[in-house]
């Protein structure tokens, strides 16, 4: 087995007739941050949602190719989707706290996974600390998560995902709409977290990818154009389209 | 000639306010009239003693009990069925021809006059299944009668729960069932309760379907196989047969107050529930 946590082979995703991902092949290495960049509509979100099989929820979705998690095909009929989603956590582009307390939001996944009640307090503190939110909310854990600011909500969603203790964390533009300070906090959290997790970070902000990603993949119109160490993608890209995009000369 | 927007605005406000006031006035007049005629006979004695001489004298206690038990039984049957159906239609099936047929069917069912349900209940529960005139026959009949309302209101309430909540729940490793129980139903509850309240209201005020299935007994029911009379039926019988107009209005007054109190209680409960979730 290679060092890749996730192996993607000739992945095609169709919504009805339209094809949103065109035969993507790449490896997601373990304990690193993979940044995914690309213009709007290039299939970045679709790619993430394929990894934890959230696309299954949309009607008329059709998937071809292979996605292997630790060598196991996640689309195999015997593969347990619910278990998969416990192993691959996701933070959505728009923060969606569930309409319940901060505390209940954080333990939502752990509770379902059967984590014992006496472990919850510790789990909530650890997860909120890892998401750099603890100090701001420790005195109001039992108030609604919906009362938090946008940036706090996004960090709550990160904490909620971390509390599941997943193996992989998928983040879909977690910093869009956040101020530089919140963004810095999330980025700091990610660089610490990669020691424990495999992270895939979709971002519209190429600078962010340059700052935090170890590897970067560039998507364009459903295709994965180029994939490699971040330094290489941003300095000596092999493809002209990548070069145009990262230097902001796109279009 | 065009009327300047400023005036159309004023006219609109006047018409709408007038319509609201007229509605309120009619409502208040009816309630006021009934309470005015009925309240004088209402007393502790009236509420908690047995009727005598067909209701000409005495109180209404058994019909009060009937008006509590029958709707409760109907709701106890209709709510799990209705909410279950709504969850199935919204969460477990994709929109197909079959779901459209089911929805069309429930809509048709909702428009059927209650006396038809009464006849059906009489033939099916009372005669065929030999439940006789009983709480059980009445409860089952009313349950069928209010089922469409409960299904539709629950369905709308469930559909109104943002899709993103479900996605979040799934992404945190919840199964569909866990998502339904922990995210969908709690958030749909206010809407579901509204449907249930509408259902209870219809059960409490129903006469036609109840007379045919629960009967007219003026004794306290000792089991679900005993016949029972509700306040609405009692009022109808007293007024219709000219037994006692005073007691008829007394019963009506109690009925109105009971309905108001149930609604108030439901709203209070719901507000507490919502406040607890968003505080
Ligand atoms: N559920 C769906 N049903 C139909 N088409 C979809 C669905 N989800 C995505 N698409 C289509 O797939 C394509 C890729 O969308 P995707 O959301 O992956 O883009 P993205 O790279 O994440 O864009 P952005 O940066 O704007 O978030 C788009 O053309 C979109 O319309
Ligand atoms: Mg996207």
Interface confidence, given as ipTM, is: 0.91
* Contact indicator for B89, B102 with CB cutoff of 8 Å: yes
Q: Whose CA is nearest to atom 29 of ligand 1?
A: A41
In this prediction, residue A2 carries a pLDDT of 55
In this prediction, residue B184 carries a pLDDT of 95
> Mean pLDDT in runs of 10 for chain B (279 residues)?
83 94 94 91 86 82 90 95 93 84 87 92 92 92 93 92 94 94 92 88 90 87 87 88 87 91 83 72
Instruction: Measure B111 CA to ligand 1 centroid, in angstroms.
Output: 43
| CATH homologous superfamily, domain B45-278 | MetI-like (1.10.3720.10)
Closest chain A residue by Cα to residue B183 = A98
In this prediction, residue B95 carries a pLDDT of 79
Domain ranges of chain B: 1-38, 45-278
The percent of residues in chain B predicted with pLDDT above 90, rounded, is 49
For the entire predicted model, the pTM comes to 0.85
CA-CA distance, B162 to B166, in Å (whole number)? 7
In the three-class reduction of DSSP (H, G, I as helix; E, B as strand; rest coil), residue A201 is classed as strand
Which residues are CB-contacts of B135 (< 8 A; sequence separation ≥ 6)?
Answer: B66, B69, B70, B73, B214, B221, B223, B224, B225, B226, B227, B228
Number of A/B CB contacts below 8 angstroms equals: 66
Chain A contact for B164, CB < 8 A? yes
Domain residue limits at A27: 4-96+165-246
Q: Is A58 in the pocket of ligand 1 (CB under 6 A)?
A: yes
Nearest-atom number in ligand 1 for the CA of A173 is: 27
Q: Once rounded to an integer, what is the mean pLDDT over residues A206-214?
A: 92
Chain B contact for A53, CB < 8 A? no
Measured CA distances, B139 to A177, B134, B142, B147, B200 (Å): 55, 8, 5, 12, 11
Chain A contact for B96, CB < 8 A? no
In the three-class reduction of DSSP (H, G, I as helix; E, B as strand; rest coil), residue A220 is classed as strand
Q: Is A41 in the pocket of ligand 1 (CB under 6 A)?
A: yes
Identify the residue whose tokens are 């095609």. A12
Bridge partners of A11, per DSSP, are: A24
CA-CA distance, A94 to A91, in Å (whole number)? 8
Q: Which two tokens stand for residue A231?
A: 């330094």
Q: Does an H or E element contain A198, and which?
A: strand A198-202
The chain-wide mean pLDDT, for chain A, equals 90
Q: Is A61 in the pocket of ligand 1 (CB under 6 A)?
A: no
Residue A31 sits in a domain whose CATH number is 3.40.50.300
Q: Once rounded to an integer, what is the mean pLDDT over residues A168-196?
A: 88
Ranges A101-115, A174-188, B11-25: which has the least confidence: A174-188
In this prediction, residue B71 carries a pLDDT of 94
In a domain, A131, yes or no: no
Does A251 have pLDDT greater than 70?
Answer: no
How many domains are there within chain A? 1
In this prediction, residue A219 carries a pLDDT of 94
In a domain, A112, yes or no: no
Q: Which two tokens stand for residue B205?
A: 């005020």
pLDDT band at A23 (very low <50, low <70, confident <90, very high): very high
CA-CA distance, A181 to A171, in Å (whole number)? 18
């Amino acid at each position: 087995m290679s060092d890749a946590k996730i192996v993607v082979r000739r992945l095609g995703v169709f919504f009805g007739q339209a094809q949103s991902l065109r035969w993507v092949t790449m490896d997601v290495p373990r304990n690193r941050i993979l940044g995914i960049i690309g213009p709007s509509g290039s299939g970045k979100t679709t790619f993430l949602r394929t990894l934890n099989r959230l696309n299954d929820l949309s009607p008329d979705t059709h998937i071809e190719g292979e996605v292997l998690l630790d060598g196991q095909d996640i689309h195999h009929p015997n593969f347990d989707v619910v278990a998969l989603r416990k192993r691959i956590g996701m933070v959505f582009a728009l923060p969606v706290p569930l309409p319940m307390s901060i505390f209940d939001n954080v333990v939502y996944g752990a509770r379902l996974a059967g984590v014992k009640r006496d472990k919850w307090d510790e789990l909530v503190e650890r997860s909120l600390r890892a998401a750099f939110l603890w100090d701001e909310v420790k005195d109001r854990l039992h108030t609604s998560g919906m009362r938090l600011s946008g940036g706090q909500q996004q960090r709550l969603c990160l904490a909620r995902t971390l509390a599941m203790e997943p193996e992989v964390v998928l983040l879909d533009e977690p910093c869009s709409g956040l101020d530089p300070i919140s963004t810095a906090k999330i980025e700091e959290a990610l660089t610490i977290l990669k020691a424990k997790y495999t992270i895939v970070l979709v971002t519209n902000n190429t600078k962010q990818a340059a700052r935090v990603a170890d590897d970067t993949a560039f998507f364009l119109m459903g295709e994965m154009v180029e994939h490699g160490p971040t330094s290489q993608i941003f300095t000596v890209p092999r493809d002209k389209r990548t070069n145009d995009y990262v230097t902001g000369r796109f279009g | 000639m065009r009327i300047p927007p400023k005036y159309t605005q004023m006219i609109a406000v006047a018409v709408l306010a007038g319509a609201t006031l007229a509605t309120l006035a009619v409502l208040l007049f009816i309630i006021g009239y009934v309470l005015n005629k009925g309240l004088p006979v209402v007393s502790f004695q009236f509420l908690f003693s047995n009727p005598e001489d067909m209701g000409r004298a005495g109180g209404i206690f058994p019909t009060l009990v009937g008006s509590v038990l029958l709707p409760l039984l109907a709701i106890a049957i209709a709510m799990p069925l209705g909410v279950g159906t709504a969850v199935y239609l919204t969460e477990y099936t994709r929109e197909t021809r079959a779901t459209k047929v089911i929805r069309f069917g429930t809509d048709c069912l909702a428009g059927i006059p209650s006396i038809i349900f009464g006849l059906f209940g009489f033939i099916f529960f009372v005669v065929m299944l030999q439940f006789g005139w009983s709480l059980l026959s009445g409860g089952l009949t009313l349950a069928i009668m209010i089922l469409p309302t409960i299904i539709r209101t629950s369905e709308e309430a469930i559909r109104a729960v943002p899709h993103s909540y479900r996605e979040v729940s799934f992404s945190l490793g919840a199964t569909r069932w866990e998502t339904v129980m922990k995210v969908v139903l709690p958030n749909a509850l206010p809407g579901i309760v509204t449907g249930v309240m509408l259902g209870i209201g219809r059960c409490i005020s129903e006469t036609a379907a109840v007379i045919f299935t629960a009967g007219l007994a003026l004794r306290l029911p000792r089991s679900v196989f005993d016949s029972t009379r509700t306040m609405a039926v009692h009022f109808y019988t007293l007024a219709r047969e000219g037994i006692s107009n005073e007691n008829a209005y007394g019963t009506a007054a109690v009925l109105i107050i009971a309905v108001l109190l149930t609604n108030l209680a439901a709203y209070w409960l719901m507000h507490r529930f919502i406040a607890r979730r968003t505080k």
